Amino acid sequence: MDSSWSKILKKKKDEWALSYGLRRLAVFGSRARGDNRVDSDLDLLVEFERPLRIDLLQFVALEQDLEFELGVPVDLVIASNLKPYVREIVLKEARDL
């Protein structure tokens, strides 16, 4: 993954931990596996403390903010929302930031 992206994502991780109770931020998918193309999106797994301190509009705003800063489509996925069969695959390839 691009080192400038890593810096941005680590900064966001710290900000989101304070503001929204983020516990985990991890890359998964083609960029985690290293088989991405130039037009690949960035798949990010997020886990939040309970009870949630973020609503749907804030969550969408986080995703859009990242897309703007990184210049690529971003897919933010909440770990607890994953179906069990998909969750196993995602957790296996996820790389924490």
Give me the CATH topology for the region 3-96.
Beta Polymerase; domain 2 (3.30.460)
Active-site residue, from 14, 35, 43, 65: 43
> Residue 20 above 90 pLDDT?
yes
| Identified catalytic residue from 41, 65, 75, 96 | 41
Verify whether residue 41 is a known catalytic residue: yes
> Encoding tokens for residue 30?
């083609």
pLDDT of residue 59: 95
Average pLDDT over residues 23-42: 94
- Residue 1 scores a pLDDT above 70: no
For residue 71, is it left (φ>0), alpha (ψ between -120 and 50) or beta? left
The model's confidence at residue 4, banded by pLDDT at 50, 70 and 90, is: confident
What residues contact 37, with CB distance under 8 A and at least 6 apart?
Answer: 30
| Residue 43 appears among annotated catalytic residues | yes
pLDDT tens for each residue of 40-97: 999 999 999 988 899 999 999 999 999 999 999 999 999 999 999 999 999 999 999 9
